[in-house]
Amino acid sequence: MKSPPVVAIVGATGAVGVEFLRIMTERHFTVADLRCYASARSAGKTVTYGNRSIPVQELTHNSFDGVDIAFFSAGSGISKKFAPVAVQAGAVVIDNSSAFRMDPTVPLVVPEINPQAIAGHAGIIANPNCSTIIGIVPLWPIHQVNRIVRLIAATYQAASGAGAAAMQELIASTQAHLEDRNYPPAVLPHPYAFNVFSHNSAVDAATGYNEEELKMLRETRKIFGDPDIRVSATCVRVPVLRAHCEALTIECSRPISPAEVRTLLSKAPGVKIVDDPGRNYFPMPRDASGQGDVLVGRIRQDMSDARGHSIAMFVAGDQLLKGAALNGLQIAELLVR
């Protein structure tokens, strides 16, 4: 691919699109030209890229002529409709939706884990689900030396995972709650302020798991290249604006200690250990927000496993960054290096 590339951002006015624009500047990702697209109702607005204002255009079938890389962050429906159009025009699509993740012909990539998969793309590269990325980035260094055979995950997912509208609903509903005003939810199915509820994706009647939980199972297997790893997740929305947290318990093939895990993670790319029992200081959304590492702490032996094969930990990561825009941009950096 030529460098610098011509880049298009589909969904440029959304929460992830805004982060793409910010981190492209922050990481000095040079472009020959930048085109920003959104729906007709957003056409005519401007977005900020460095010290420039970029006009937002309506997305059409003619939007990708001359484009080298197209970042898609506008939902699976838009991706299914327009990603093939972009590929036909000669672009490589880096798609942040769920549209192509489980397509066996589409690489599902986390650069810290399986960058080699990029070479197998046929025009589309999928960005994994945010909960999957944040959970497995710190697990991969362990899996490489002591295979993880089972993962139990409980997620604490922020409003950012449901987009800018959900973040605004959390702010507005919290204000209403504090003022003793009624605030009927419009974006999410339940009142958000001072509340916790099961993730708002559809529940599969056959298994009882919701879509978010099944994504963690299927995507982990595909990214790790391990169809036999056993995964069970419980995904929950919490009233936090930004950055997801996850409680993870892993079972390994052989005995493993917290000290071994800390040694492995201390050298792992994209991971930062935040583990201070003396101060009771561990990963929190407020520390994870706005930065790209997955924070890892509460690293301890799982006392329910007498064989010593299991470790429990707690992680936090910015859903809009490593869980979305940063991961996508890291893929693009590998394409043009």
SS3 102: coil
Q: Rounded CA gap, 150 and 65, in Å? A: 46
Q: Which residues are catalytic?
A: 130, 244
Q: Rounded CA gap, 154 and 213, in Å? A: 9
Torsions phi, psi for 33 (to 5 deg):
-160, 150
Torsions phi, psi for 37 (to 5 deg):
-125, 150
Pairing of strands 33-38, 52-58: parallel
- For 41, which DSSP code? G
Q: Rounded CA gap, 135 and 156, in Å? A: 11
In 3D, which of 209, 187, 207 has the Cα closest to residue 198? 209
The alpha helices in the chain, defined as continuous H runs, are: 15-26, 76-88, 130-136, 140-145, 164-178, 211-224, 258-266, 285-288, 326-336
Question: From the DSSP assignment, how many helices (H) and strands (E) are in the chain?
Answer: 9, 14
Pairing of strands 148-157, 310-317: unpaired
Angle, helix 15-26 to helix 326-336, in steps of 10 degrees: 50
Sign of CA dihedral 326, 330, 333, 335: negative
Q: Residue holding tokens 């298994």?
A: 207
In 3D, which of 124, 119, 120, 130 has the Cα closest to residue 99? 124
